[in-house]
Amino acid sequence: MPPRVTVVVPNWNTKEFLGPCLRSLRGQTFRDFETVVVDGASTDGSVEFVGENFPEARTIALRENRGFSGAVNAGIEASEAEFVVLLNNDTEQDPGWLGTLVRAAERHPAAGLFASKLVDFRDRNRLDGAGDALRRSGLPYRLGHGEVDRGQFEVEEFVFGACAAAALYRRSVFDEVGLFDEDFFAYCEDGDVSFRAQLAGHRCLYAPGAVVYHVGGASTGGKRSATATRLGTRNGLLLLVKNLPAPLAWRFLPSIVLGQISRLLVVSLSPGGLRAHLEGLAGAWRLLPKMREKRRKIQNTRRVSDAYLRELLVRSSRRAAESRRRRIKDSLQAGIR
């Protein structure tokens, strides 16, 4: 009989993070799970390290680096569990993390995916994320990111989506909406799955008791790196092409245009940011025909109304704006001190 949960841990040349991550998995109070480490052709001895130190983990060694999307898809396809949990390797988890997610799924059978409370690995008084938002501008936002944790995210709530750094999904959701889009490779791939799930009527619940400590950007050099900028620009646009219904695209078009301008200005402040942004735009253009074909299938099978999606995005935008204001305030106060 398969375990109830499969925890999929993608890895690419980040062996130094595997030890703390897998040791904290050993300490979970919920025990009916298996661990599957999917390695994307690492050259740093990651596969051997797992085999020698964590024999309880099943390892899938890919022949090439297929990115986050390809790695987690391989893990999902190898699982027969009721629930699939995705977990970045640059994390540590509270002992009750996994059990909290499973209990949330049991209490909310109508929800299809569940977001963890992410805490900054280095500064554990500061949040890294409390569920994902998608704004009317089309730009994603991780709620709570960079905020001082004052207990403002201690209540369960429905959010737009789950950051796949630590999230639980019902297998039935993947069966219905498909796996992660490997054309995305990395970045915004979890937002794409969340959007497809919402279109199919599967809500996302944020579970504040499911606490994970997250480093972030371990494989790509951080959120301001050229890789992160290029993929973030490209995939942020492709996410909208695939998923945003035409009536809402026209309704939110002014916000979307302003959002793209603001993103251009922000990324241009980083060394190499403008070039990476332009490369991302070119990449989105090249993939546009393929994404339009995927869009037709997604829009033809969606189950929720434009009114539901409009309210979801308006509420998501409002929550993102509130979170951003708190983060700016916290940053200013830290600078004053």
Question: Which DSSP string do the residues of 165-229 spell out, in sequence order?
Answer: TEEEEEHHHHHHH-S--TTT-SSSHHHHHHHHHHHTT-EEEEEEEEEEEE---TTTT-TTSHHHH
Cβ neighbours of residue 179 closer than 8 Å, sequence gap 6 or more: 69, 72, 73, 76, 77
327-331 mean pLDDT: 90
pTM, 2 dp:
0.95
Mutual angle of helices 306-336 and 189-199, in 10-degree steps: 140
What is the greatest pairwise CA distance in the chain? 58
> Whole-angstrom Cα distance, residue 26 to residue 5?
14
Average per-residue pLDDT for the chain:
95
Give CA angle at 80 (77, 82), nearest 5°.
Answer: 115
pLDDT band at 219 (very low <50, low <70, confident <90, very high): low
Strands 203-214, 111-120: pairing kind? parallel
> Whole-angstrom Cα distance, residue 226 to residue 272?
6
> Whole-angstrom Cα distance, residue 229 to residue 283?
12
Q: Are 183 and 287 in contact (CB under 8 A)?
A: yes
Token pair listed for 193: 């799955």
Provide the 3-class DSSP secondary structure of residue 163. Answer: coil
pLDDT band at 336 (very low <50, low <70, confident <90, very high): low
Res. 223: pLDDT tops 70: no
Question: Which DSSP string do the residues of 3-46 spell out, in sequence order?
Answer: -SEEEEEEESS-HHHHHHHHHHHHT-S--SEEEEEEE-S-SSSH
Place of tokens 């569940």: 114
> Whole-angstrom Cα distance, residue 157 to residue 130?
10
Per-residue pLDDT, 331 = 86
Q: What percent of the chain has pLDDT over 90?
A: 92
* H or E stretch at 92: strand 91-93
Q: Are 184 and 63 in contact (CB under 8 A)?
A: no
Per-residue pLDDT, 1 = 87
CB atoms within 10 A of CB 318: 13
CB atoms within 10 A of CB 224: 16
Query: 57-77 in b/e burial notation, b at 16+ Cβ within 10 A?
Result: bbbbbbeebbbbbbbbbbbbe
pLDDT digits (tens, 9 = 90+) for 265-321: 999 888 999 999 999 999 999 999 999 999 999 999 999 999 999 999 999 999 999
pLDDT digits (tens, 9 = 90+) for 48-97: 999 999 999 999 999 999 999 999 999 999 999 999 999 999 999 999 99
CB atoms within 10 A of CB 95: 13
Q: Are 139 and 267 in contact (CB under 8 A)?
A: no
